[in-house]
Chain A
Amino acid sequence: MTERPYVEVKDLRRVFDVSKPWLNRVLEGGEKQYLKAVDGVSFNIAKGETFALVGESGSGKSTVARMVVGLLPPTSGEVMIDGISMSSQAASSERQRLRRRIQMIFQDPYASLNPRWSVDRIVAEPIRAFRLIEDEKDINARVGELLSFVGLHPADGKKYPHEFSGGQRQRVAIARALASDAEFIVCDEPTSALDVSVQAQILNLMRDLQDRLGLTYLFISHNLAVVRHMASRIGVMYLGRIVEISEGRELFTHPKHPYTRMLLDAVPDVGMTGRQRIPVSGEIPNPISPPSGCTFNPRCPLANERCIEQAPPLLGGVACHAVHEGRTTTHAAA
């Protein structure tokens, strides 16, 4: 019997209606417009693993995150966690139990904590909502324990979010995510609003917690270096699709997809190692009217007729006709 992956995402799609209001369409004669934010994304995450989705703005990575935790219903496709489907067919009691095990850490720690609530109350909310502990005194003890677990003082619970720095707030958000004994945490750009030295604290904390509690992470980020540091497997997204998916080390040492290579070349060289790089060209097209075929074709040095006509399937971890056909050496030779 083969081991079932802890998280299975199958052919997830999400279309947003971005049309103008009905009256404007009638008067101005516009068409209905749709935005394919996520267009057939599939991946698995093993228990205790960190899987990362990396991409630039408009790649749909955050939309995937929201669908995986159930904040946003998918247009089609399915998310299974520990063999239970997140879609509405499943019995609601079963989903409520599943919900307790999935939590999320958000990008902006200034917006993810209710400004009118004390930290104690914020961290205790999941405990109360899932009725994990009934006795008030025990809840308080548990909240104090959670706060010290993420590196805060239990007495900090009496304070309000605005009394904390960004990094400390993100610690509170992590404590809240842990409060329901979650096993799977979706982290949507958890450190992109933080300073580097604080980012290092939070990333280290997240890894310590993973080691200790066996957490599974879905890590969303635009920062390749952060992703490299955190994830064992990585999916690179471009305009709603995964263009390459591979083991972390492999992706950084032997990137296959032309977009992945370009992205790696674009990252500033902090170490000043003087590595060889190819200059980046072009910008991300408007996702409402993406290019035909492979959406990367207008910026791709390897594009040919087929790339303009036909979207490449994800085969062997890469969605690129050129790689499939073995045309990868073209620009290296040039």
Chain B
Amino acid sequence: MAEAIQTAPTTPSEPASWVGRFLDSDVWASFKRSKLTIAAAFLTVLFMAAAVLAGVLAPQDPFDPAQLDLLNSRLPPIWNAEGMAPFLLGSDEQGRDIFSAILYGLRISLAVGILGVAFSATLGIALGLIAGYVGGTVDAVIMRIADVQLTFPAILIALLVDGVVKSVLGGQLDAGTTLSVLVFSIGLSFWVQYARTVRGSVMVEKNKDYIAAARLIGLPAPVIMFRHVLPNVLGPVLVIATINLALAIITEATLSFLGTGMPETMPSLGTLIRIGNNYLFSGEWWIVAFPGIALALLVLSINLLGDWLRDALNPRLR
């Protein structure tokens, strides 16, 4: 049927599969080039795996009081003369194995971080999409709220939420509720960045003609937003989410250190550091040092990944 229309020779090459395309991409090439990034990625994966497999790897369940023995309290690391198996990195004042506590604490820190980021990203992306696509008064209201929100430091908001929830529910909260409160407060303090970035990208994308083409066939605005605009604004969001994961983990650690985070019965890395802090001056350095090192390494490697991702996805960003 196309005899009159001269065929433009198109490259007959077989379209590559999803994996093939990724392995051929510039992002993968820049990953392979950076040794630091590879190390950071390796560490991050290692930490994640350790957190997931905590139940298998840890010699002891630190959350189970029945397994703790006060006779084993404040033991130094195993390479020390007074150290003993299985307390690889020593134990704290309740006879809790530090190594096990770090693994379980990692699990909690990562869970709070990832859930917090997921919550703030969802909130921020949704509000940013609406603000950017609808524009006008809706945009103005959302962005003014964001401006106000930005004047409060994240820690302050988290403390505020924590205080409100405590006064409503009364007194001490159980570990599950505390975790939800942490996720909620971290989510509330970080959404602005997503909303602003997404709004900016949406305002650029919505004026492109592929959006006009979608409007021409009468697609409703929500469909255009989710099918066409959203996939094209997610690149910067991925970068922010990675960097925010590190921030969220630190925020959680800070809150736990200040005593409004995870309780001592179910410690996160921050709680462990707070506990250890009390024994630092009595010479039991291992209780604070090892959780501290774990936290620093985790945050550092995630940050390095985030930095690399930002440069790899968009050299012009920043």
Q: A112-B210, A155-B15 are in contact. Are A149 and B217 (CB under 8 A)?
A: no
Q: Does A34 contact B (CB under 8 A)?
A: no
The 8 Å CB contact of B219, one of A129, A145, A176, is A129
List A contacts of B215 (CB < 8 A).
71
Interface majority SS (helix, strand, loop, mixed), chain A: helix
Number of cross-chain contacts by CB at 8 Å = 89
B5 close to A205 (CB less than 8 A): yes
Q: A149-B2, A152-B8 are in contact. Are A104 and B212 (CB under 8 A)?
A: yes
The 8 Å CB contact of A201, one of B8, B212, B214, is B8
B8 close to A69 (CB less than 8 A): no
List A contacts of B1 (CB < 8 A).
145, 148-149
B212 close to A153 (CB less than 8 A): no
Identify which of A4-12, A95-103, A215-223 touches chain B. A95-103
Which residue of the partner chain A has the closest CB to B234?
A116
A111 close to B210 (CB less than 8 A): yes
B232 close to A104 (CB less than 8 A): no
Distance in angstroms between the alpha carbons of A188 and B310 in the assembled complex? 36
Q: Does B151 contact A (CB under 8 A)?
A: no
Q: Separation in Å of the B141 CB from the closest CB of chain A?
A: 15
The 8 Å CB contact of A114, one of B5, B8, B12, B232, is B232
B4 close to A112 (CB less than 8 A): no
B213 close to A168 (CB less than 8 A): no
Which residue of the partner chain A has the closest CB to B15?
A158
Q: Does A291 contact B (CB under 8 A)?
A: no
From 200 to 251 in chain B, residues with beta carbon under 8 angstroms from any chain A beta carbon are: 208-210, 212-219, 228, 231-232
A99 close to B216 (CB less than 8 A): yes
> What mask results when residues 95 to 134 of chain A are scored 1 for a CB within 8 Å of chain B, else 0?
0100110111011100111111000000001100110000
Distance in angstroms between the alpha carbons of A205 and B8 in the assembled complex? 11
Q: Does B167 contact A (CB under 8 A)?
A: no
The 8 Å CB contact of B228, one of A66, A69, A99, A114, is A114
List A contacts of B10 (CB < 8 A).
152-153, 156, 164, 168
B212 close to A148 (CB less than 8 A): no
Q: Does B6 contact A (CB under 8 A)?
A: yes
Q: Does B7 contact A (CB under 8 A)?
A: yes
Distance in angstroms between the alpha carbons of A132 and B216 in the assembled complex? 16
The 8 Å CB contact of B4, one of A66, A164, A208, is A208
Which residue of the partner chain B has the closest CB to A113?
B210
B12 close to A153 (CB less than 8 A): yes
List A contacts of B218 (CB < 8 A).
96, 99, 129-130
List B contacts of A116 (CB < 8 A).
231-232
Q: Does A319 contact B (CB under 8 A)?
A: no
Q: Separation in Å of the B67 CB from the closest CB of chain A?
A: 51
Q: Does A180 contact B (CB under 8 A)?
A: yes
Q: Separation in Å of the B21 CB from the closest CB of chain A?
A: 9
Q: Does A312 contact B (CB under 8 A)?
A: no
B212 close to A150 (CB less than 8 A): no
Q: Separation in Å of the A26 CB from the closest CB of chain B?
A: 16
Q: A112-B208, A149-B2, A151-B7 are in contact. Are A99 and B217 (CB under 8 A)?
A: yes
A115 close to B232 (CB less than 8 A): yes
A148 close to B210 (CB less than 8 A): no
B213 close to A150 (CB less than 8 A): no
Q: Which of A111, A113, A171, A212 has the most CB of B within 10 A?
A: A111
B213 close to A171 (CB less than 8 A): no
Distance in angstroms between the alpha carbons of A150 and B8 in the assembled complex? 9
Q: Separation in Å of the A95 CB from the closest CB of chain B?
A: 8
Which residue of the partner chain A has the closest CB to B17?
A158
Q: Does A70 contact B (CB under 8 A)?
A: yes
Which residue of the partner chain A has the closest CB to B212?
A71
Q: Separation in Å of the B253 CB from the closest CB of chain A?
A: 37
List A contacts of B5 (CB < 8 A).
149-151, 204-205, 208-209
Distance in angstroms between the alpha carbons of A331 and B1 in the assembled complex? 54
> What mask results when residues 193 to 209 of chain A are scored 1 for a CB within 8 Å of chain B, else 0?
00000000100110011
Distance in angstroms between the alpha carbons of A114 and B215 in the assembled complex? 13
B232 close to A125 (CB less than 8 A): no
B8 close to A129 (CB less than 8 A): no
Distance in angstroms between the alpha carbons of A159 and B12 in the assembled complex? 11
List B contacts of A100 (CB < 8 A).
217
A159 close to B228 (CB less than 8 A): no
The 8 Å CB contact of B8, one of A125, A151, A180, A208, is A151
A201 close to B6 (CB less than 8 A): yes
List B contacts of A145 (CB < 8 A).
1
B214 close to A125 (CB less than 8 A): yes
Which residue of the partner chain A has the closest CB to B6?
A151
Distance in angstroms between the alpha carbons of A212 and B1 in the assembled complex? 11
Q: Separation in Å of the A111 CB from the closest CB of chain B?
A: 4
Which 8 A-B pairs rank lowest in CB-CB distance, beginning with the nearest? A112-B209, A106-B209, A158-B15, A111-B208, A116-B231, A129-B217, A114-B210, A151-B8
B residues within 8 Å of A by Cβ?
1-2, 4-8, 10-12, 15, 208-210, 212-219, 228, 231-232
16 contacts between A and B (CB under 8 A): A66-B212, A69-B216, A70-B216, A71-B212, A99-B216, A99-B217, A106-B209, A112-B210, A113-B210, A114-B232, A148-B2, A151-B5, A153-B10, A155-B12, A167-B8, A180-B217
Given contacts A114-B228, A148-B7, A151-B6, 13 further A-B contacts (CB under 8 A): A66-B212, A69-B216, A71-B216, A99-B216, A99-B217, A114-B214, A114-B232, A129-B217, A130-B218, A155-B15, A168-B10, A180-B217, A204-B6
